[in-house]
Structure 1
Amino acid sequence: MNADDLRAMSQDDLNKELLSLRREQFNLRMQRGTGQMARPHEYRRVKKGIARVKTIMGELKQTSTSE
Protein backbone atom coordinates (compact mmCIF):
# COMPACT_ATOMS: atom_id res chain seq x y z
CA MET A 1 0.00 0.00 0.00
CA ASN A 2 1.37 3.41 -0.87
CA ALA A 3 1.29 6.54 1.27
CA ASP A 4 -1.61 8.13 -0.62
CA ASP A 5 -3.83 5.13 0.09
CA LEU A 6 -2.84 5.24 3.75
CA ARG A 7 -3.56 8.97 4.04
CA ALA A 8 -7.11 8.32 2.80
CA MET A 9 -7.73 5.88 5.67
CA SER A 10 -9.24 6.71 9.04
CA GLN A 11 -7.33 6.29 12.30
CA ASP A 12 -9.16 3.03 13.06
CA ASP A 13 -8.32 1.63 9.63
CA LEU A 14 -4.67 2.57 10.12
CA ASN A 15 -4.64 0.77 13.47
CA LYS A 16 -6.12 -2.35 11.85
CA GLU A 17 -3.56 -2.20 9.04
CA LEU A 18 -0.73 -1.81 11.56
CA LEU A 19 -1.98 -4.80 13.56
CA SER A 20 -2.22 -6.88 10.40
CA LEU A 21 1.31 -5.96 9.32
CA ARG A 22 2.73 -6.71 12.77
CA ARG A 23 1.10 -10.15 12.76
CA GLU A 24 2.53 -10.82 9.33
CA GLN A 25 5.95 -9.64 10.52
CA PHE A 26 5.77 -12.02 13.49
CA ASN A 27 4.87 -14.95 11.25
CA LEU A 28 7.69 -14.13 8.84
CA ARG A 29 10.13 -13.79 11.73
CA MET A 30 9.15 -17.26 12.99
CA GLN A 31 9.57 -18.70 9.48
CA ARG A 32 12.99 -17.09 9.19
CA GLY A 33 14.03 -18.49 12.56
CA THR A 34 13.08 -22.03 11.62
CA GLY A 35 14.59 -21.81 8.15
CA GLN A 36 11.26 -22.16 6.32
CA MET A 37 11.20 -18.70 4.76
CA ALA A 38 10.61 -19.07 1.02
CA ARG A 39 10.66 -15.36 0.15
CA PRO A 40 13.08 -13.43 2.39
CA HIS A 41 12.27 -10.11 0.69
CA GLU A 42 8.77 -10.20 2.20
CA TYR A 43 10.16 -9.40 5.65
CA ARG A 44 11.65 -6.13 4.40
CA ARG A 45 8.40 -5.25 2.57
CA VAL A 46 6.37 -5.73 5.75
CA LYS A 47 8.88 -3.77 7.82
CA LYS A 48 8.68 -0.82 5.43
CA GLY A 49 4.88 -1.06 5.43
CA ILE A 50 4.84 -0.76 9.22
CA ALA A 51 7.09 2.29 8.98
CA ARG A 52 4.75 3.89 6.43
CA VAL A 53 1.68 3.34 8.59
CA LYS A 54 3.40 4.69 11.70
CA THR A 55 4.61 7.75 9.77
CA ILE A 56 1.09 8.54 8.54
CA MET A 57 -0.30 8.04 12.05
CA GLY A 58 2.30 10.48 13.36
CA GLU A 59 1.39 13.02 10.70
CA LEU A 60 -2.28 12.75 11.62
CA LYS A 61 -1.47 13.16 15.30
CA GLN A 62 0.71 16.19 14.61
CA THR A 63 -1.92 17.92 12.47
CA SER A 64 -4.65 17.27 15.03
CA THR A 65 -2.59 18.76 17.88
CA SER A 66 -1.53 21.83 15.89
CA GLU A 67 -5.12 22.83 15.10
Structure 2
Amino acid sequence: MTKAADLRQKDVAALEEEVKSLQRAHFGLRMQKATQQLSNTGSLRVTRRDIARAKTILAQKRAETASKAK
Protein backbone atom coordinates (compact mmCIF):
# COMPACT_ATOMS: atom_id res chain seq x y z
CA MET A 1 0.00 0.00 0.00
CA THR A 2 1.31 3.38 -1.00
CA LYS A 3 1.07 6.16 1.56
CA ALA A 4 -0.31 9.53 0.45
CA ALA A 5 2.53 11.34 2.25
CA ASP A 6 5.09 9.42 0.16
CA LEU A 7 3.26 10.31 -3.04
CA ARG A 8 3.02 14.00 -2.14
CA GLN A 9 6.82 14.21 -1.98
CA LYS A 10 7.15 13.18 -5.63
CA ASP A 11 7.01 15.53 -8.60
CA VAL A 12 4.52 15.29 -11.46
CA ALA A 13 6.75 13.12 -13.69
CA ALA A 14 7.43 10.67 -10.88
CA LEU A 15 3.72 10.46 -10.09
CA GLU A 16 2.89 9.73 -13.73
CA GLU A 17 5.46 6.92 -13.71
CA GLU A 18 4.00 5.61 -10.43
CA VAL A 19 0.50 5.51 -11.94
CA LYS A 20 1.81 3.62 -15.00
CA SER A 21 3.61 1.05 -12.87
CA LEU A 22 0.57 0.56 -10.63
CA GLN A 23 -1.63 0.07 -13.69
CA ARG A 24 0.81 -2.52 -15.06
CA ALA A 25 0.77 -4.32 -11.71
CA HIS A 26 -3.03 -4.22 -11.60
CA PHE A 27 -3.23 -5.64 -15.13
CA GLY A 28 -0.92 -8.48 -14.12
CA LEU A 29 -3.08 -9.24 -11.11
CA ARG A 30 -6.22 -9.23 -13.26
CA MET A 31 -4.61 -11.72 -15.65
CA GLN A 32 -3.63 -13.94 -12.73
CA LYS A 33 -7.21 -13.80 -11.48
CA ALA A 34 -8.55 -14.68 -14.92
CA THR A 35 -6.29 -17.73 -15.12
CA GLN A 36 -7.11 -18.58 -11.50
CA GLN A 37 -3.51 -18.23 -10.33
CA LEU A 38 -4.24 -15.39 -7.90
CA SER A 39 -4.58 -16.56 -4.33
CA ASN A 40 -4.94 -13.14 -2.66
CA THR A 41 -7.80 -11.42 -4.47
CA GLY A 42 -7.68 -8.55 -1.97
CA SER A 43 -4.54 -7.30 -3.69
CA LEU A 44 -6.72 -6.20 -6.64
CA ARG A 45 -8.61 -3.84 -4.36
CA VAL A 46 -5.40 -2.49 -2.83
CA THR A 47 -3.78 -1.74 -6.18
CA ARG A 48 -6.98 -0.16 -7.51
CA ARG A 49 -7.08 2.17 -4.52
CA ASP A 50 -3.36 2.93 -4.84
CA ILE A 51 -3.96 3.96 -8.45
CA ALA A 52 -6.82 6.22 -7.38
CA ARG A 53 -4.70 7.75 -4.62
CA ALA A 54 -1.82 8.46 -6.99
CA LYS A 55 -4.13 9.93 -9.65
CA THR A 56 -5.81 12.18 -7.07
CA ILE A 57 -2.50 13.59 -5.86
CA LEU A 58 -1.31 13.96 -9.47
CA ALA A 59 -4.43 15.99 -10.31
CA GLN A 60 -3.90 18.15 -7.22
CA LYS A 61 -0.27 18.85 -8.20
CA ARG A 62 -1.25 19.69 -11.78
CA ALA A 63 -3.96 22.08 -10.54
CA GLU A 64 -1.46 23.64 -8.15
CA THR A 65 1.09 24.26 -10.91
CA ALA A 66 -1.63 25.58 -13.22
CA SER A 67 -2.79 28.08 -10.60
CA LYS A 68 0.82 29.23 -10.02
CA ALA A 69 1.29 29.75 -13.74
CA LYS A 70 -1.57 32.25 -13.92
TM-score interval for Structure 1 and Structure 2 normalised by the shorter chain: over 0.9
Deviation at 1:53, TM superposition (A): 0.5
In the alignment, which residue of structure 2 is the partner of 1:30? 31
Cα offset for 1:5?
Answer: 0.6
Q: TM-score, normalised by structure 1?
A: 0.93
Match of 1:50 in 2: 51
Q: Any stretches of 5+ residues in structure 1 without a counterpart? A: none
Q: What amino acid is the match of 2:37?
A: Q
Rounded Cα–Cα distance in structure 1 between residues aligned with 2:18 and 2:61: 15
Long gaps (5+) in structure 2:
none
Note the alpha carbon deviations across 1:35-62, whole angstroms, 9 max, x for none: 1111101000000000011000100111
Aligned-residue sequence identity (percent) comes to: 36
- Rounded Cα–Cα distance in structure 2 between residues aligned with 1:62 and 1:18: 17
Aligned residue number for residue 3 of structure 2: 2
What amino acid sits opposite 2:52 in the alignment? Answer: A
How many residue pairs align between the two structures? 67
1:64 Cα shift?
1.2
1:2-48 per-position Cα deviation (integer Å, ceiling 9, x unaligned) = 11110000112111111110110000000111111111010000000
Moved segments of 4+, more than 3 Å: none
